[in-house]
Amino acid sequence: MAIRNIRVMGDRVLTKVCRPVEQMTDKISTLIGDMFDTMYDACGVGLAAPQVGILKRIVVIDVGDGEAYCLINPEIVETSGSQTGDEGCLSVPGKAGKVTRPDHVVVRALDENMEPIEVTGEGLLARAICHECEHLDGILYVEHVEGELHDVSYDEEDAFDEIDELIEK
């Protein structure tokens, strides 16, 4: 497993619609492992394959609730409620902005064994699922920001992590 280079806003790969995964291969299995490594190395809570330059419908998420998710070909099938809070993205380093998201989502996907799974997310997990799934359609959270993006200092990032308000830094 290895840490991959994270693409940043302005890279056109982040604007593309990703292709579904048809079958698990050694290459995709390695990619998923690398995505987890890359996310943890960058202290993010989620990462989508296009952020490492691969146009496949794969996301990994770990919001620190004891579960790490790999979602392949994810489809959000239910949303409800609303939450407004600061959000960030590993592809938009040093920035955050206020985004309103559903507070509850249900997502259906395949896991890394290509077995169907359904994940219910509330709060930060719901926010992360929405954010990561949008990456697969070439959408960055900055398109939804209410007001201006603001700079996030490292100290503030640590503080945000503690109160679980920041996604992916």
Residues near Ni ion (CB under 5 A) are 89
As measured in angstroms, the least distance from the Cβ of 168 to Ni ion is 5
**Nearest residue to Ni ion on Cβ basis:** 89
- Toward Ni ion, which CB reaches closer, 89 or 110? 89
- What are the counts of helices (DSSP H) followed by strands (DSSP E) for the chain? 3, 8
As measured in angstroms, the least distance from the Cβ of 122 to Ni ion is 20
**57 and 48 Cβ atoms separated by less than 8 Å:** no
User: How far apart, in Å, are the Cα atoms of 91 and each of 44, 88, 146, 149?
Assistant: 10, 9, 19, 14
SS3 assignment, position 89: coil
SS3 assignment, position 78: strand
- Toward Ni ion, which CB reaches closer, 109 or 131? 131
As measured in angstroms, the least distance from the Cβ of 46 to Ni ion is 7
CA 152 to chain centre: 19
22 is catalytic: no
Look at residues 57, 139, 71 and name the one whose alpha carbon lies nearest to residue 105: 71
As measured in angstroms, the least distance from the Cβ of 89 to Ni ion is 3
Q: Which of 22, 67, 122, 132 is catalytic?
A: 132
- Toward Ni ion, which CB reaches closer, 89 or 145? 89
Q: So which residues are the catalytic ones?
A: 132
